[in-house]
Amino acid sequence: MKFFSNTLLLKRITMLVSLVIVTLILWNTYTFFQKFKQAERAKMEIHGEAIKELNTENLEDLEKNISELPLSVISRTKDIPFILVDANGEIKGSNNLDPKKENDPKYLKEQLEIMKDQNQPIQVDYLGKTDFIYYRDSDLLNKLTYYPLALILILVLFLAVIYLFYSSNKAAETNKLWTGMAKETAHQIGTPLSSLLGWISILKMEKVDETYIQEIEKDVHRLNTIANRFSKIGSVPELKKENIVNITKQAFDYLESRSSKQISFSFSSTEDEIFTELNTELFGWVIENLIKNAIDAMLGKGELNLKIESKQKKVKITVSDTGKGMPKKLFKQIFKPGFTTKKRGWGLGLSLSKRIVEDYHNGKIFVKKSEIDKGTTFQVLLNKL
């Protein structure tokens, strides 16, 4: 518990620190972006002053090369695309645009509309005339807009790695806990089992009714099967070629004989022998879990049908009941560890069944259909030999 609480605290601290980092990144990027944008506007204003200076100089000044400074300013403004427009909205010139399209009037009008949306024009007054410089953000400034997104993406990936790391650690710890508990349970069951076998021998010597002894032996065999199941948790089970019809029928018959007589049990199979690779003890556990869930859903009264079908390369085992049913949103949740709709129970039966079928037998288990107050149908698919 200490490990889990420390992990949860560390997760919260990590999330808080990450939130602060993201906020600082966004704020600093926004501040830098605005300053860069202001610097570009100041550069364009100087550009406008240079244009004004060139247009107001007289011929004598030009001959004396006084216009070298304005020309130098204009020549250095090469990274900001702009269009010069007169007071009537006519385009007088452009610079830093696509050289292949800068003579296309349609292209210039499209660029002008973009510039009008991005920035306020710079007014240039000279000799009683007024021109306007429209400009858009430079390529560098446009690239900067994606910079915070890239940083956030990197941070999200970093957090995802951290989350997966802690989740895998937690899952590993949980698996170790359940595996340890299962093996300890198997060990604890072993002691009374040995004692019961001794008592059965004594009963036989005392010539007790053979029928009673046979029923006790069935339950002892059942306890031995349960112990073996628990001992196999956490290890890869051995699969053998088995007749799934017999294995399923054995589990079905055991629970039928020990269930309410108000439940009508029905078992059917399209063939007497259908072979597949099974671990008989673990697969029997799956069938028992499905039947027990059906019995609980019917509250001890109703109809339970188990059907086995051979379909090409697959074997279908269908378990149907006339119980309370469930909404569609629970079809997948019921297989998650710890999820249960019962007042009592740990919510492990179906999650274990899913692991046995899908991880150990390479099959599928799912809710085929369910209707509230009408019943539920589970289906198991396995590969046929």
Task: Work out the angle between the directed axes of helices 280-297 and 244-257 (0-180°, nearest 10).
Answer: 40
Q: Chain-wide mean pLDDT for the chain?
A: 78
pLDDT tens for each residue of 297-308:
898 789 999 999
- For residues 353 and 285, the answer to whether their CB atoms sit within 8 Å is yes
Residue 51 has a pLDDT of 67
In a domain, 161, yes or no: no
Provide the pLDDT for residue 244.
93
Nearest to 335 by CA among 289, 283, 291: 289
Residue 50 lies in a domain: yes
Q: Which span out of 21-25, 121-125, 141-145, 292-296 was modeled with the highest average pLDDT?
A: 292-296
Residue 184 shares a structural domain with residue 255: no
Distance CA 18, CA 157 (A): 12
* Higher-pLDDT residue of 158, 74: 158
**Residue span of the structural domain in which 214 resides:** 169-218
Is 246 found in the same domain as 126? no
- Check residue 213 and give its pLDDT: 80
Number of domains the chain is built from: 3
- Between 54 and 82, where is the model more confident? 82
Q: Would 371 be classed as within a structural domain?
A: yes
255, 284: one domain? yes
pLDDT at 368: 92
| 272 and 333 inside one domain | yes
pTM attached to this predicted model? 0.51
At 157, is the pLDDT very low, low, confident or very high (cuts 50, 70, 90)? confident
Percent of the chain with pLDDT over 90: 17
Is 164 a member of any domain?
Answer: no
Neighbours of 13 (CB within 10 A): 10
Determine, yes or no, domain membership for 63: yes
Q: Are residues 185 and 93 in the same domain?
A: no
pLDDT one-digit tens code per residue, 114-127: 888 888 888 888 77
Q: Look at residue 63 in the predicted model and tell me its pLDDT.
A: 46
User: pLDDT digits over 204-254, tens only?
Assistant: 787 777 788 887 887 787 777 777 767 766 667 788 899 999 999 988 988
Q: Is residue 349 part of a domain?
A: yes
CATH value at residue 317: 3.30.565.10
CA distance 163 to 294: 37
Q: Is 31 part of a structural domain of the chain?
A: yes
